Amino acid sequence: MASRCWPRSSDIVLGLAPVSQVGTPWGRYPRAQQRVVSLRDRHADLPSFEGTALPHGNGRSYGDSCTNDGGTLLHTRGLDRFIAFDAATGVLSCEAGVLLSDILDFAIPQGWFVPVLPGTRFITVGGAIANDVHGKNHHRAGCFSEHLDGFELLRTDGLRRWCSLSQNPDWYAATVGGLGLTGVITWAQLRLSRIRGPWMNAETLRFSSVSQFIEISSASERDYEYSVAWVDCAAAGKTLGRGLFMRANHAPAGCGEAPRSRLAVPFTPPISLINGLSLRAFNALYYHRQRSAVAYARSHYQPYFFPLDSIADWNRVYGPKGFVQYQCVVPPGIAETAIQELLARIAASGQGSFLAVLKVFGERRSAGILSFPRPGATLALDFPNAGKRTFDLLDTLDTVVAQAGGAVYPAKDARLPGRYFRQYYPEWETLRPYLDPKFSSGFWRRVTE
């Protein structure tokens, strides 16, 4: 057994000999075959490759925006060095492959926090920029890029540019949310935010309809830094749109042990463990778990921000066919009816999963041309991949979102028809001159070709 793994001289190729691997995005759909080259030195030129390449951080994008079937992936996790940190101002320079979790581990004991955190902390800084990620504080803090002083962009022709709102602002706007297609982000400088400790004061409020959700959300905007809601996507009829609204602020101080997670999904079950039956039962239990209309709790920041990070490889729970996530945003005026319509169609289909999230975005737009967040309400949910049935449902959701004048989030997408992408991101063609001619992704080919 061991013998097969021993290095063989005949296998050794000097230099960077890429290994071809089957890769899957976080949703485990679609699969892609690609060569992998790891970047380790931010000062070095990009390695040569045949065909097209795509920068790849920690692979937590759900769909094919992080795959490049038939091409090369430039893994950036080897670029994981801090460069400088000013503990007085919170300004951090680091390489693009540093994980947000690394920054949190390092910064929290010094009283600093990552100003925008998505639903997982296991993403790279480069990925956070390339997808211009948002978090539960979007209504207050905007997107990740709003806390960025700038970053260095390295192109396959060897050119390096410092990109910020004032220097090369056009390159900055193309690269923020630019899905890695404009070059490799080698390092970045960001501004952390002050906190007094890792604890959160959290409140959970029950709501019984989408309109009540929107009411609570706007009432919470001023006094709560973070807000997000879980919505029961299996509930229909009178219970349609019920859920739990979670709002929180950083606690002034606090002490205690960080929760330790030992849970993992050790293997991929042969079929999805999430199905209509388990979903309705589980959602009903979850909704009624809380007896009172409001519950207060002090929570460590990790379970508040990243409930799923505590279960390693949770994406396996959907079985070998994987899952697709659908995250859309619909404009404020029409949000209530559009979200109701979306939820009604999902509930009627019996698909969907426990993981369904609602959030009202703030008014701020980021500089990124392809940046997803815009004013309105965003709905995100997972669907176990049941083949045509699932994709047909998502097609009908597209019609609702398109009619409402909304948009779908590329970082989560694996199947959006190109015409919708071009409608949601009408400025997509202005990106063209900034694309690295040797870069491409499964997503980009799918929505533009």
Q: Which CB atom, from 16 or from 159, has the smaller least distance to another protein?
A: 16
Q: Closest CB to another protein among 41 and 170?
A: 41
Q: How far is the CB of 202 from another protein (least distance, A)?
A: 30
- Decide if 90 contacts 194 (C-beta within 8 A): yes
Q: Which is nearer to another protein, 110 or 399 (CB)?
A: 110
Q: Is the dihedral of CA 435, 404, 324, 287 positive or negative?
A: positive
Q: How far is the CB of 122 from another protein (least distance, A)?
A: 14
Q: What is the DSSP letter of 302?
A: H
Do residues 84 and 92 make contact, with C-beta atoms less than 8 angstroms apart? Answer: yes
d(CA 133, CA 442): 20
Contacts of 309 (CB under 8 A, 6+ apart): 120, 121, 122, 261, 302
- Cβ 109 to another protein, closest distance in Å? 10
What's the Cα-to-Cα distance from 27 to each of 21, 124, 146, rounded to whole Å? Answer: 17, 17, 28
Shortest reach from residue 112's CB to another protein, in Å: 12
Helix (H) or strand (E) holding 383: strand 376-384
Min. distance of Cβ 60 from another protein in angstroms?
A: 18
> To the nearest whole angstrom, how small is the minimum distance from the Cβ of residue 36 to another protein?
9
Nearer to another protein, 7 or 387 (CB): 7
Give the dihedral of Cα atoms 194, 83, 134, 411; nearest 10 deg. Answer: -160
Say how far apart CA 252 and CA 195 lie, in whole Å.
Answer: 8
Which letter does DSSP use for residue 99 in this model? B
Contact (Cβ atoms closer than 8 angstroms) between residue 62 and residue 412: yes
Burial letters 80-115, b for 16+ CB under 10 A, else e: beeeebeeeebebbbbbbbbbbbbbebbbeeebbbb
Residue whose tokens read 């910064």: 107
Task: Report in angstroms how near the CB of residue 94 gets to another protein at its nearest.
Answer: 8
How many whole angstroms separate alpha carbon 95 and alpha carbon 248? Answer: 31
Nearer to another protein, 16 or 263 (CB): 16
CB of 179 to another protein, least distance (A): 26
Please give the residue ranges that form the binding site for another protein (CB under 8 A): 2-14, 16-17, 19, 38, 40-43, 78, 81-85, 95, 106
How many C-beta atoms surround the C-beta of residue 152 within 10 A? 18
Q: Which amino acid is at 269?
A: P
Q: Which is nearer to another protein, 43 or 388 (CB)?
A: 43
> Which H or E run includes 413?
none
Give the max Cα distance, the chain. Answer: 69
Amino acid (one-letter) located at 209: S
Q: Give the nearest distance from C-beta 107 to another protein in angstroms.
A: 10
Closest CB to another protein among 78 and 332? 78
